[in-house]
């Protein structure tokens, strides 16, 4: 309405609207990038937490670790016992 009242030409009106639209698109892109960065950071933190705590608190993984340790001790024991 301001453009109509002030008597600006239609071309100036279009250019102003295009500038506003371009500004809004840039703002939208900036906001999308910010949101993407935020959620990427959350995903990376969740992966790190899973790697640090998920395996350690998993009974299946703990059992495999204990079996590996037992197998290694038995192997070392058999190697040391054979040399005596």
Report domain extents, the chain: 2-83
Residue 13's Cβ-count burial label (10 Å; 0-12, 13-18, 19+) is: middle
- For residue 2, name the pLDDT band (cuts at 50, 70, 90): low
Distance CA 1, CA 78 (A): 93
Distance CA 48, CA 1 (A): 55
Q: pLDDT over 70 for what percent of the chain? A: 85
Mean pLDDT of 23-48: 94
The pLDDT tens digits of the residues spanning 41-80 come to 999 999 888 877 776 777 888 888 899 999 999 999 888 8
DSSP for residue 82: H
Higher pLDDT among residues 15 and 56, named by residue: 15
> Do the Cβ atoms of 16 and 3 come closer than 8 Å?
yes
pLDDT at 5 over 60: no
Contacts of 12 by beta carbon, 8 Å cutoff, 6+ apart: 3
Mean pLDDT of 31-48: 94
DSSP for residue 1: -
Mean pLDDT of 1-29: 77
């Amino acid at each position: 309405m301001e453009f109509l009242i002030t008597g600006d030409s239609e071309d100036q009106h279009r250019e102003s609207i295009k500038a506003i639209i371009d500004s809004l698109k840039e703002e939208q892109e900036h906001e999308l990038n910010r949101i993407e960065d935020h959620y990427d950071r959350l995903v990376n933190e969740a992966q790190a937490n899973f790697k640090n705590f998920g395996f350690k608190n998993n009974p299946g993984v703990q059992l495999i670790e204990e079996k590996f340790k037992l197998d290694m001790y038995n192997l070392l024991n058999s190697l040391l016992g054979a040399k005596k």
